[in-house]
Each structure stands twice: as structure tokens, then as C-alpha cells.
Amino acid sequence: MRVIDIRAGRGLVARLLELGITPGSTLRVLKTFGSGPILLDVKGSRIALGRGVAMKILVGVVQ
């Protein structure tokens, strides 16, 4: 998946940018934990995001 936009406040946007989640970057979902966090691969790093945070990241499918 490719990040299209981050629809959140300045603080959360800044935090996600520091983690490497930027518009245009590629993400891969490694695992979901039921209704809990989502484990992502971002530029070779594993990052766990809560569902509320993850829902603020607008993604598109990479073909």
C-alpha cells in the first residue's frame, strides 16, 4: 500500500513523519491483532499502530 495522505492533527502527523510514514511511502501490513493494533513494515522497520491512529492514514493499492 502507498500512503496518499495523513488526516490528523499536527502532533500526530509529526509523529508519523518521524516514524517514516510519509505521503508516497510504501507500507505493508504484517499482522492485525483482532480489533487491536496493526503491525506494519515501513522502510524495513516494524511499527505497531493503534487502530485509531491507523485509520487516519489514507492509503492506496500499489500495482
Length of the chain: 63
What CATH number did the domain enclosing 16 receive? 2.30.30.90
Q: How far is CA 36 from CA 14, 24, 27, in A?
A: 23, 26, 18
Per-residue tens of pLDDT for the chain, all 63 residues: 999 999 999 999 999 999 999 999 999 999 998 889 999 999 999 999 999 999 999 999 987
Bridge partners of 26, per DSSP, are: 2
Structural domain range at position 33: 2-60
Domains contained in the chain, number: 1
Q: What is the pLDDT of residue 14?
A: 97
* β 57-60/38-42 pair status: unpaired
This prediction's pTM? 0.86
